[in-house]
Structure 1
C-alpha cells in the first residue's frame, strides 16, 4: 500500500519543521507583547514606520516581526499596513477588555521555558530539573504573577464553576478556596450567592492579589484569608464546599488522595469538593490542549500530570467521596470534577 492511500496518512516532512521552529512562534508573540505592537496596530495607521516609532524599535526588525505574525495568522496585512484580525483585536490588543496578552506573557516566563531545556534529561529523570519541587516550591513568587496575569484566561471559567457548585444550594454557606490565586473562583461564589462567605487559602503575597479582586467585586466583607500551605495549615470549617482549582495536577496520586482526605474531613456531611482541571480523554492524547498539558507538568513539577477522569474519580473514591461527576466547560479545555462528602 502506498503512503497517502486508504488507511495511512500521507508523508509530511512539514510536521518536523513545524515542531523544530515552533519556538519562534512563542518568542515572536512575547516580543510583540513586550514591544506593545498590538496596541500600535490597533491605534493605526499600521505602517512599519509608525509601529516602529511606537515600539522604539528598528524598522527592519519591526517589519520582519510583523510579517512573521501575519504568516502565523496573528495579524493581517493590507498593502504595506498591518491590521488586526478579529482574534488579535479581541485577545491581544490592550484596548480590548478580553485581552489575554498578560496570559501569554506569563506562559512565556523564563521559569516555564527553562523547564524545556534539556528535555531528554527531564524525560530520563521523569521530573523537572528546576530546583526543588519546581514551580510548587513554597512561596514561589511565580504564583504572585500568576494571580496578577492569568485572570483573563481563568475568569470565564468562574461563572460555570460557580453555577455547578451552587446548584441546588441557596442561603448561608461557607466556602474554602484552596490555592486561591487570583481568587476569582471563590469570589464568583460570593457574587452568585449573597449569603456565601469565602476563605481563600494560598501564600500570603498571593492572597493580597485575591483580596484586591474581592474588593473590586464588592465582596471583601465576605472574603477571609488563610495564608500558608494547603498541606500544612488547619483548614478549619466545617465548609459547605471546597474548591481545588488547577491544583491537583501539580502532584502525584498519593499526594492528591491525601489532600482530598483532608478536604473531606473539613466538609459538612453532604458538602461538595470541586476541582477544575485539564482532563484528557482516557487515550491521553485527546483533546489536544488538556492532553498536552501533561508536558507542562513534566517540565515544571516533580510528579504532576494531566489526570483522566477515571484517575480523578479513583482519587475521590479513595478519599471517601461519593457521586463523583465530571462537568466539561463548553468551549474550554477545562472540566469541573465534583464529589460529595
Structure 2
C-alpha cells in the first residue's frame, strides 16, 4: 500500500491498541500479575474470564509492550508495573478509569457533530460512578504539573487562595506546601468536596484547606482572596458563562489580587496545537456548550471583568497555558 493509504489505515485502527489496554486494565490483568509470573489460565481464573479469550488478550498486551511472555508465563513489563499496578507511586489507574468513561462519550461523536452539542446520556447513577475516577485522574495529572505551574506564579503577599472548581485540591495542596502562610478555600460541587477533604487529609494540610460547596456558574463565590486559581475550568463552559465567571472571580478578590487561569489554549487558526484541537471534541461530546478557547478570547473575558496586567505564560513541558491578570486597586 502507498504511504497515504497506510496512514489512513493506521489511524482507523488506532482504537484497537487503546481498547486492548483499557480492557486489560478493566479486567484487572495488570493488578493480578503484580510482580509475579503467571499463565493466562491462572490469570483468567482470578479475574473471572474465559481462559482462551484471556490468553488472546494477554498475547495482544505483549505486542503492545505492556506484558512479557516467556515459557508460557506472562509478566508485567517495566512500564506496566510502574503505572498499572495499584500501590506504586506512579500508579495511573485513576487516569485510566477516566479514559474508560470517555470511551463511552466519544462513541457518540458522530451524533454530537450532527446535533452541535453533547448527546451522551448523563444518568445520575453514571455520574456517581464517574466522579471518583475523574477526580483521581485530575489529581494524578495536577500533582505532576503543580510544581512546574507554581514556579510561574508570584506568591508574594499571597495569604488566601480561592481554588475554583479545585477538585482533589492538588493545586491547593501545592500552594500550601509552597508557603506556610497560605491557606486555601476550594469551591466545588457537593459530590466532589468529600473527596477533596480526603486528598487534603492524606497530604497533611487539612488544617489549611477548607471547602465551600456550590456551582460556580449559578452561585456566588466567597470573597476576600489574594489569588484565584482556575485550572481547566473554562473549557466546560460557554463563552457567556465564562464572561460571568470572570466577573464573579473579580468580586471574590481583594484589590490587587491575582487571577491565574490554566487552560488548553488553542491557536487563533484553531488547528494547532493538536492537544487542544482534539480536546475541543472532548468538550463537544461531554458538555452542553464547552469548547477550547484562544488567548484572545480568554484575554477579552479578563479585560471585560476589569483585570489588568494580562499576560500569557506557557510553562515548559506541560502542554497547558497560564493566563494571568491582576484586579485593579
- Tell me the TM-score normalised to structure 1 length: 0.85
> In the alignment, what sits opposite 1:128?
118
TM superposition shift of 1:216: 1.5
Does residue 1:217 correspond to 2:203, yes or no?
A: yes
Does residue 1:17 correspond to 2:9, yes or no?
A: yes
Quick check: 1:127–1:301 contact (8 Å CA) kept in 2? yes
Q: Pick from 67, 75, 85: which aligns with 2:59?
A: 67
C-alpha distance in 1 between matches for 2:38 and 2:138: 28
Computed over aligned residues only, the root mean square deviation of the Cα atoms, in angstroms, reads 2.6
Q: Pick from 166, 186, 193: which aligns with 2:179?
A: 193
> In the alignment, what sits opposite 1:202?
188
Quick check: 1:144–1:181 contact (8 Å CA) kept in 2? no
Does residue 1:254 correspond to 2:246, yes or no?
A: no
> In the alignment, what sits opposite 1:270?
256
TM superposition shift of 1:144: 4.2
Does residue 1:183 correspond to 2:173, yes or no?
A: no
Q: 1:213 to 1:290 in 2, by over 3 A?
A: same
TM superposition shift of 1:210: 0.6
Quick check: 1:198–1:223 contact (8 Å CA) kept in 2? yes
Does residue 1:143 correspond to 2:131, yes or no?
A: yes
- What is the CA deviation profile of residues 164-215 of structure 1, one whole-angstrom value per residue up to 9, with x for unaligned ones? 33x2514x61111111111111121112111112111111221111111111
Q: Pick from 169, 181, 185: which aligns with 2:156?
A: 169
TM superposition shift of 1:79: 5.6
Partner secondary structure for residue 198 of structure 1: strand
Does residue 1:101 correspond to 2:97, yes or no?
A: no
Quick check: 2:139–2:168 contact (8 Å CA) kept in 1? yes
Quick check: 1:39–1:95 contact (8 Å CA) kept in 2? no
C-alpha distance in 1 between matches for 2:114 and 2:60: 35
- What is the CA deviation profile of residues 26-85 of structure 1, one whole-angstrom value per residue up to 9, with x for unaligned ones? 332222112221133432224323433443323322221122223334334456444444
C-alpha distance in 2 between matches for 1:78 and 1:326: 52
Quick check: 2:35–2:81 contact (8 Å CA) kept in 1? no
> In the alignment, what sits opposite 2:141?
153
- What is the CA deviation profile of residues 81-140 of structure 1, one whole-angstrom value per residue up to 9, with x for unaligned ones? 44444432322222421111221112211xx33333443331122111135xx69x9x95
Worse-superposed segment, 297-306 or 23-32: 23-32
> In the alignment, what sits opposite 1:335?
321
- Tell me the TM-score normalised to structure 2 length: 0.88
> In the alignment, what sits opposite 1:280?
266
Quick check: 1:278–1:335 contact (8 Å CA) kept in 2? yes
Quick check: 2:217–2:241 contact (8 Å CA) kept in 1? no
Q: 1:107 to 1:195 in 2, by over 3 A?
A: same
Q: 1:93 to 1:285 in 2, by over 3 A?
A: farther
C-alpha distance in 1 between matches for 2:180 and 2:261: 22
Quick check: 2:35–2:76 contact (8 Å CA) kept in 1? no
Q: 1:80 to 1:285 in 2, by over 3 A?
A: farther
Does residue 1:38 correspond to 2:33, yes or no?
A: no
Q: 1:300 to 1:84 in 2, by over 3 A?
A: same
Partner secondary structure for residue 4 of structure 2: coil
Does residue 1:319 correspond to 2:305, yes or no?
A: yes
TM superposition shift of 1:273: 1.0
5+ residue gaps in structure 2? none
Worse-superposed segment, 17-26 or 303-312: 17-26
TM superposition shift of 1:259: 0.5
Q: Pick from 81, 104, 117: which aligns with 1:89?
A: 81
C-alpha distance in 1 between matches for 2:312 and 2:73: 47
5+ residue gaps in structure 1? 4-9
TM superposition shift of 1:303: 1.3
Q: 1:113 to 1:45 in 2, by over 3 A?
A: closer
Count of matched residue positions in the alignment of Structure 1 and Structure 2 = 325
C-alpha distance in 2 between matches for 1:173 and 1:277: 24
